[in-house]
Chains A and B, each alone.
Chain A
Amino acid sequence: MRKYRFLWAALVAINAVPMTTIRAADVDQVEYIVSSQIVSDVVTGNSLTTGSSGEMIASGGGACADGNCTGAAGGQGGMLGNGTNFLAGARARVGDLRQGGFAGDIASGCVPRTYGNPDLFYNYYTQGNCNGTNAQMYLSPVPVPANVGHTFYTYQPFNPQEMLYWHTDRFHNYYDGGRGMNHTKVHYFAPPIRQAASNIYWNHLRIPR
């Protein structure tokens, strides 16, 4: 009796362990997080380099849609004193963090206070190397002349492409070096009855023309 119980427990354990580990791995691989920490807002091939004065400089295409591509290197305080661990870590997200005034000695490892400086808007583009030409998603359907001007959504959950299909998304924003996080969970759905009525009309009643 006891033997069977033990075997049973062992079986349960065998079944449970791989499931938990695999699921955790899946969650890691499949992450629909749309963070504001976008690596770059300029053309592919852009690289962050450290200038002679130690400032972070975003070099590359030169096109900078919202003007924050160089981070706050030239702004308040400036990220001086390269070589510290903090700056090495901050390197990838230099465009997303803005540093406030800091009187301490960064070179000795003191961590300055930073503020979120996310992209206001990031466009989407067609992907791949065989395109010859590429389309940007906004403005849609076609770009307008520069002197016309345009607006864009700065709040990602309101982006029109999210309204295209029924889903749930979480929008994350990390701050304080990843120790703080805001998230917004959004359910995008169509009211089922109204949708069904609309489908009946558009698919069955409407005269095709």
Chain B
Amino acid sequence: MKRKLLLVIALAATACFPGANIASATDPYAATMLWSNQMAAQRAWHGNYYYLPYGQPTALIVPPTAHMRQTLSWGVSQNLMYPLNHQFGRNASQPGAMPTGSFQATPHWPSHTDQFGVYYVRGPW
């Protein structure tokens, strides 16, 4: 009787486990990497403002394990979180720097953290 019970339990376990096996990926970041890549492919890594000392939008490298970025705006206040989709990769991409005037300057009275021209990009794995 005990043995039968064991067998039934084992059968139930077998019925459950194949799915679990498939889901047990060795890479816990695989799905999020895919989402990030898809999101990044449809969005610019910068917010169209240039960083004053450099004249171009400037990337600030953060660890690849970083998830979210926080933006603040004042005046009409906002406090928003976005996922950090962009990540540095091996493909050399064109164009590099754009001609002067392609991007907006930081306003005299900035009202948003994006307006300073420094944007997070995650480092490569």
Contacts and interface: CB of A to CB of B under 8 A. Distances in A.
B77 interface: no
Interface class of chain B by DSSP:
loop
Contacts, number: 143
Interface string B9-52: 01101100110011011110010000001001111111000010
Given A30-B25, A32-B125, A123 B92 contact: yes
A22 B94 CA distance: 38
Nearest to B94: A43
Contacts of B24: 22-23
Contacts of B41: 127-130
Contacts of B11: 11
Contacts of A124: 88-90, 123-124
Interface residues of A, number: 44
Contact of A135 (B7, B26, B57): B57
A11 to B, nearest CB: 5
Contacts of B121: 126, 135
Interface residues of B, number: 55
B66 to A, nearest CB: 9
A164 to B, nearest CB: 4
A151 interface: no
Contacts of A136: 96
B59 A137 contact: yes
Interface class of chain A by DSSP:
loop
A128 B95 CA distance: 11
B108 interface: no
Given A8-B7, A133-B98, A43 B58 contact: no
B58 A126 contact: no
A165 B63 contact: yes
Nearest to B40: A128
A203 B57 CA distance: 29
B97 A133 contact: yes
A19 B13 CA distance: 14
A142 interface: yes
A127 B89 CA distance: 6
Contact of B59 (A19, A32, A135): A135
A148 to B, nearest CB: 14
Nearest to A32: B125
Interface of A: 4, 7-8, 11, 14-15, 18-19, 22-23, 26-27, 29-30, 32, 38, 40-44, 61, 122-137, 140-142, 161, 164-165
Report the 8 A-B pairs with minimum CB-CB distance, sorted nearest first: A124-B88, A135-B59, A164-B63, A30-B27, A161-B123, A165-B63, A127-B89, A26-B26
